[in-house]
Chains A and B, each alone.
Chain A
Amino acid sequence: MRAAHFCESCGKVQPPAPTDYFSYFGLPRKLNIDTAQLEREFYRLSRKLHPDLYARASEQEQEWSTERSSLLNDAYRTLRDPVARTEYLLKLEGVQLEEQSKAATDRARESGGEKKQVVPPELLEEVFELNMQLQELKLSKQMGEAADERVVRDLTAAKQGFEARLSGLDQRLQQTWAAWDERSGQRHEGDAESRKALEAMVEVLNTRSYIRNLVRDVNAALEA
């Protein structure tokens, strides 16, 4: 269903209706999307909502067009980015990661039990150790010492490893998309396959943020 941005008979901009980003672009709730098509649609709508076109419209219409165009920008920015798109879908489907994490902390406090970290402890160790190394490198550079060649070599190797892991995770993410999209059309309330796909997305995203940071930080350290 395409959201009605304009009146069908007179072409006037319509008041913003509560809608999600997918239906805003007339897309089904699927994760594999044609981003070239999305971009074209974005530009087409942006032109039609351009404030200049509403300079002489009623105040009400001006307001509606501004609201619609800010929604348009948010929707486009979210949907064109693979990770933001996945996170957005999770939110729409009621998977609230931050809420879950907070609730787990509350439970641990009340029961005196343990809050399980969502990623393996070895990954946290690895992230922590690497950050320690990077910090040392930064410090020695600040002291005007030449970077230790061995350290630089190690980091360059580590960087390649992280990049490979990141692209591995992105492939995994795509697989979860496929699993989700496949159910589209036959999805019913509490569909187990769909749930599984959503959970798999969460798992990939949980790890991905750490690996993405490592790639970013190692690159910054090597370039500095």
Chain B
Amino acid sequence: MAYSDKVIDHYNNPRNVGSLDKSSPEVGTGLVGAPECGDVMKLQIKVNRETQVIEEAKFKTFGCGSAIASSSLATEWVKGKTVDEALSIKNTDIVRELSLPPVKIHCSVLAEDAIRAAIRDWKTKQEQTASKPVETKA
């Protein structure tokens, strides 16, 4: 199957590969998988709590070229966006940008799932810290 130039570019020079500190309250982690093929993808974001802006994004994908390209692109796209803006990214946007063929649509779905899972994880952390009783010093 022929990959598009954009997929090949992301595959050869993936942006933002790596990881962020999972336990940090500012970091949200999404780990998702595609049962169709058994590929897995981890995407992490670091969010500024004041501005809600995603300041950092990292990914690590064990999977096909399209999954790597989709997640690489996803990290590029979410950076600088607020969490709400990032939630509006659709897998079809990724398909269009990378010219993915129909058999590779699930790879882009995986990337959207990863963004959503990371944001959800971050939001859960925020709620937890918000609901924690404020420590009062005697």
Q: Which residues of chain A have a CB within 8 Å of any CB of chain B?
A: 97-98, 101-102, 105, 108-109, 112, 114-115, 117-119, 121, 123-125, 127-128, 131-132, 205-207, 209-213
Contact = CB atoms under 8 A, between A and B. Distances in A.
B75 interface: no
Interface stretch (B31-39, B66-74, B128-136): B31-39
29 contacts: A97-B35, A101-B35, A101-B36, A102-B105, A102-B106, A102-B109, A105-B91, A105-B116, A108-B116, A109-B87, A114-B120, A115-B116, A118-B35, A121-B31, A123-B33, A124-B31, A125-B31, A127-B40, A127-B62, A128-B60, A128-B62, A131-B40, A206-B35, A209-B37, A209-B38, A210-B35, A210-B40, A211-B38, A212-B38
Interface residues of B, number: 24
Contacts of B113: 105, 108, 115
Nearest to B119: A112
Contacts of A118: 35
Contacts of B117: 115
Contact of A127 (B33, B90, B105, B120): B33
B36 A210 contact: no
A114 B39 CA distance: 20
A109 B112 contact: yes
